[in-house]
């Protein structure tokens, strides 16, 4: 598994992929955190889904983490795309057969690739957290937000809890992407279906079917990142998300072991 891990990591750290992805992480995080503070007086809202996050909320200890948790959805989409493309392209390029010659145990190969991509996700989450905190302090003065509570132990503890929740959410999104990549065996198809479901289908269902949001995988992954919201509690979101992932992993693992390695 260690050799598979480093082999996959060699692919993930290619400059175009690595720095291009990290640039997108920095850009999205900076944009979301900036809008949170620069639009603090806007009646259209400055948070996710048009939520209004006022100064009193931002001045609390957990206010330091609001921008970071708000960026979790975009981090999740990026992870989904990376996990899906890196998995499905082995079929498209015909390289999976060569990999299995070196490592014939298919599930071991899959586990090594997954752990390597999880490291990639971890780096993106760390970078996002740093950018969010830096921009929060930099823009707090312009937004007239008092940052005294941000220097307390409660703020540091809240930031750490948010970091763990966002990481869980991002890896969950990535796992969904990997499952789609294994089942569909096409990067474009896997990414298209994954993004369309998360951004379009789930929003339509949430708007038209009452209480459906609390049973959607993408919505629950975002709820985990924020530590719970109006749609569902943190524990409910975690259990629902875990159930989706468990079923998806079992199905994808079964087909990966049984199907031919060519697309």
Instruction: Kindly state whether residue 172 falls inside one of the protein's structural domains.
Output: yes
The number of distinct structural domains making up the chain is: 1
Question: At residue 5, what are phi and psi to the nearest 5 degrees?
Answer: -55, -50
pLDDT in tens, 90-122: 887 777 777 777 777 888 888 999 999 999 999
Per-residue tokens: 166: 């966002």
The model's pTM: 0.91
Which residues contact residue 240 at a Cβ distance below 8 angstroms, ignoring those fewer than 6 apart?
214, 215, 217, 220, 232
Query: Any residues with CB less than 8 A from the CB of 129 and at least 6 apart, and which?
Result: 68, 159, 163, 166
Residues 6+ apart with CB under 8 A from 28: 71, 74, 75, 78, 128
Q: Is the pLDDT of residue 240 over 60?
A: yes
List the one residue out of 231, 234, 193 whose CA is nearest residue 212. 231
Q: What is the mean pLDDT of the chain?
A: 88
**3-state secondary structure string across 106-119:** HHHHHHHHHHHHHH
Domain that holds residue 223: 2-258
Q: Which residue has the higher pLDDT, 146 or 123?
A: 123
Please name the residue that has the structure tokens 């970078």: 127
Of 30-39, 42-51, 104-113, 236-245, minimum mean pLDDT range = 42-51
Q: Could you tell me if 153 and 64 are in contact, meaning their C-beta atoms sit under 8 angstroms apart?
A: no
Helices vs strands, H then E, count in the chain: 12, 0
Give the confidence band of 262 by pLDDT, cuts at 50, 70, 90.
Answer: low
Task: Assign residue 186 a region (left: φ > 0; alpha: ψ between -120 and 50; beta: otherwise).
Answer: beta
Q: Provide the pLDDT for residue 263.
A: 55
User: Looking at residue 49, what is its pLDDT?
Assistant: 65
- Please report whether residue 263 resides in a domain: no
Q: Is residue 56 part of a domain?
A: yes
Q: What is the DSSP string of 85-133?
A: HHHHHHHHTT-HHHHHHH---HHHHHHHHHHHHHHHHHHHHHHHHHHHH
Residue 51 three-state SS: coil
For residues 75 and 166, is the Cβ–Cβ distance under 8 A? yes
168-223 residue pLDDT tens? 999 999 999 999 999 998 899 999 999 999 888 988 888 888 888 889 999 999 99
In the chain, the percentage of residues whose pLDDT exceeds 70 is 96
């Amino acid at each position: 598994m260690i050799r598979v891990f480093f082999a996959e990591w060699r692919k993930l750290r290619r400059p175009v992929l690595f720095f291009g992805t990290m640039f997108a992480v920095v850009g999205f995080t900076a944009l979301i955190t900036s809008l949170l503070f620069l639009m603090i007086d806007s009646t259209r809202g400055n948070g996710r889904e048009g939520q209004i996050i006022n100064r009193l909320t931002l001045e609390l200890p957990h206010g330091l983490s609001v921008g970071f948790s708000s960026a979790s959805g975009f981090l999740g989409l990026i992870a989904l795309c990376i996990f899906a493309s890196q998995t499905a392209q082995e079929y498209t390029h015909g390289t999976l057969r060569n990999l299995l010659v070196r490592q014939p145990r298919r599930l071991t190969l899959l586990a090594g690739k997954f752990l390597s991509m999880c490291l990639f996700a971890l780096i993106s989450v760390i970078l996002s957290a740093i950018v969010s905190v830096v921009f929060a302090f930099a823009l707090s003065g312009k937004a007239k937000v008092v940052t005294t509570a941000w220097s307390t132990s409660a703020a540091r503890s809240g930031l750490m809890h948010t970091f763990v929740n966002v990481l869980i959410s991002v890896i969950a999104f990535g796992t969904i992407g990997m499952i789609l990549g294994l089942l569909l065996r096409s990067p474009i198809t896997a990414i298209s279906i994954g993004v369309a479901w998360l951004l379009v289908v789930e929003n339509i269902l949430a708007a038209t079917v009452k209480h459906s949001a609390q049973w959607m995988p993408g919505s629950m992954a975002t709820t985990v990142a924020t530590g719970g919201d109006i749609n569902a509690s943190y524990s409910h979101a975690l259990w629902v998300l875990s159930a989706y992932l468990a079923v998806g992993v079992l199905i994808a693992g079964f087909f990966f072991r049984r199907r031919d390695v060519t697309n």
